[in-house]
Amino acid sequence: MDVRSQVSMVFHLDKCIGCHTCSIACKNIWTDRKGAEYMWWNNVETKPGTGYPTKWENQDIYKGGWEKNGDTVSLKGAGKFKGLKNIFHNPHMPVLDDYYEPWTYKYQDLFTAPEGDDQPTARPVSLVTGEHMDVQSGPNWDDDMSGSIDYARQDVNLEKLSAAEREAMFQLERMTLHYLPRICNHCLNPACVGSCPSGALYKRGEDGIVLINQERCRAWRMCVTACPYKKSYYNWNTGKSEKCILCYPRLESGQAPACFHSCVGRIRYLGVLLYDADKIAAAAAAPDDRLVDAQMDIYLDPFDPEVIKQARLNGVADSTITAAQNSPVYKFVKVWKLALPLHPEFRTLPNLFYVPALLPTMATVSDGVYNSTSKSLWNGVESNRLPMKYLASLFSAGDTGKVTEVMKRLMAVRLHRRGVTVGDLNAAEISQALKEVQMEPDTADAIFRLTALATFDERFVIPPAHREESIEMLENTGDVKGNTGFGFKEKPVRGL
């Protein structure tokens, strides 16, 4: 057992209101620079939709992620041979137009326009070329299913649905959407790291954050292709790739990442998961129907004395183990089994988990009447507006059983809480719902609490970074004893 700690995340999709505050917080801090304008380390997509960059989930186009190759996995569009062969031209790399051409407006024209009959306008100018441009698309062009023929119907996840099922989804009465906020998953088997020819990408041992060393990146662009989530971006100005850094400077000083901190819907949770690094290779190569289970098996019980012992032996700090025990992510993912990884079939073992949205999938229409008794809601889980096949394509590599199970658990919590707060439901029905998913009323209350009422410190359980120890490893603190402030640039020795 090789116990390591990983800072991991849960996004509760039922709570996301699609306000994009998270994206803006990130943009203002990290990507408001030349060459990075088009990057959205955090972006919020509308599902069904094509996302950003367009059709990123379609690996026939972008060849991202790993594919199963017997007992192991190999990179789909990169790797030692393919990488060095394609280094002069990477055939599957997304280009600027697959994202969008960033622009601003010539605001000055509003003030300097000569007097005339027409209102002056601020025309859009490209942030790449500086020339006037016609805006063709933007990062949220398909927000709230706008232009759903061009976008929603092109969603890759619809492939698993029959034509009739697809059509049903787009009837006006049945139409539904939910938001999908995405950041880098700081994967356990990161394809970006594996694909980098110059070895610039690495995973931090202490917290599992995946970073790009800007000094070593040589613009070979392989990570851009290899990341199946398209969360590694190429800065066309500096000639270096960049990606989400999970705000590690904030984390190290005990603050939540900016997108977490600013999240209006409070959908985001962050905490430590302890995992067994020895199991990564096997889990990444698990058969499709075992993928989610195999990944869940990697994460360890932080209360298990054996795990604690091994973690200590491996140098995991006690404060980190405590953080793992209080981790909201551990509860959502392992204890309550409510959160699933996005596209586990990419085999990168992502560490961002999603509680699927229950709300828009609920009510169904028959003969133009909404059926909203609890009974029909309950029955509706399988036959609801957002087909299980669609959700399964997003969150469980096509296994509808997995998402249905999660949905039923979420529904049980909801019925139970309705019983508590409104009390208009049949008690037998509620206990039947709870029994079916083997959930105690107490558990349902705890889930409700962490979902709806959790405080800042309950949502973000950040392990101390122990920077003091880090400093001790880099230099002998005894050497700088007696120095002041930031120390001396030269050793304070007597001059000649």
Partner 1 sequence: MTNILLFAVLPYAALAIFLVGSIYRYKNRGFSVSSISSQFLEGKKLFWGSQPFHWGLFILFFGHLIAFLFPSAVLAWNGQPVRLLILEIAAFAFGLSALLGLVLLILRRLTNRRVQIVTSKMDIVVYAILLTQIVSGLLVAYHSRWGSSWFSAFLTPYLRSVFVFDPQIDAIASVTSLSLKVHVISAFALIGIIPFTRFVHFLVYPVDYLWRSYQQVIWNWSRKHIRTSRSHSEGHKSKNN
Binding test (CB under 8 A) with partner 1, winner from 162, 167, 205, 456: 205
Q: What does the alpha-carbon distance between residue 415 and residue 420 come to, in Å, rounded to a whole number?
A: 9
Instruction: Please calculate the CA angle 434-436-437 and round it to the nearest 5 degrees.
Output: 70
Contacted by 189, from ligand SF4, partner 1, none: CB < 5 to 8 Å by type? partner 1
What's the min distance (Å) between Cβ of 224 and ligand SF4?
9
* Nearest to partner 1 of 220, 378 (CB atom): 220
Give me the DSSP letters along 295-343. HHHHB--TT-HHHHHHHHHTT--HHHHHHHHT-HHHIIIIIS---EES-
Residue 412: closest CA among 449, 448, 444, 383 = 444
Query: Among residues 12, 20, 47, 408, which is the contact residue for ligand SF4, using CB under 6 A?
Result: 20
Q: How far is the CB of 471 from partner 1 (least distance, A)?
A: 9
DSSP H or E segment with residue 282: helix 280-284
CB-based burial label for 97 (10 Å; 0-12, 13-18, 19+) = exposed
CB of residue 61 to partner 1, shortest distance in Å = 13
Contact between 263 and ligand SF4 (CB under 6 A)?
yes
**With contact defined as beta carbons under 8 Å apart, do 278 and 300 qualify?**
no
Range in contact with partner 1 (rule: CB under 8 A) among 110-118, 123-131, 141-149, 302-310: 123-131
Per residue, the 3-state secondary structure of 315-326, as one string, reads: CCCHHHHHHHHC
- Contact yes or no for 165/389 (Cβ under 8 A): yes
- Which 238-257 positions form the footprint of ligand SF4 (CB under 6 A)? 243
The reply to whether 206 sits near partner 1 by the rule CB under 8 A is yes
Would you count residue 348 as binding ligand SF4 (CB under 6 A)? yes
Q: Scan residues 209-248 and list those touching partner 1 (CB under 8 A).
A: 213-221, 224, 234, 236-240
Tokens of 210: 């995946």
User: Which tokens go with 177?
Assistant: 């959407």
Stretch that binds ligand SF4, among 2-10, 69-77, 178-186, 282-290 (CB under 6 A): 178-186
229 near ligand SF4 (CB under 6 A): yes
- Residue 66 binds ligand SF4, judged by CB under 6 A: no
282-321 positions binding partner 1, by CB under 8 A: 313-317
Task: Choose the one of ligand SF4, partner 1, none that binds residue 202, judging by a C-beta under 5 to 8 angstroms depending on kind.
Answer: partner 1
What crossing angle do the helices spanning 441-448 and 400-421 adopt, rounded to 10°? 90
Distance between first and last Cα of the chain: 57
Instruction: Give the residue, chosen from 76, 82, 186, 221, that forms a contact with ligand SF4 under the rule CB under 6 A.
Output: 186
Considering the complex, state which of residue 481 and residue 494 has its C-beta at the smaller distance from partner 1: 481
Provide the binding-site residues for ligand SF4, judged by CB under 6 A. Answer: 16-22, 44, 179, 181, 184-187, 190-192, 210, 227, 229, 231-232, 243, 263-265, 267, 348
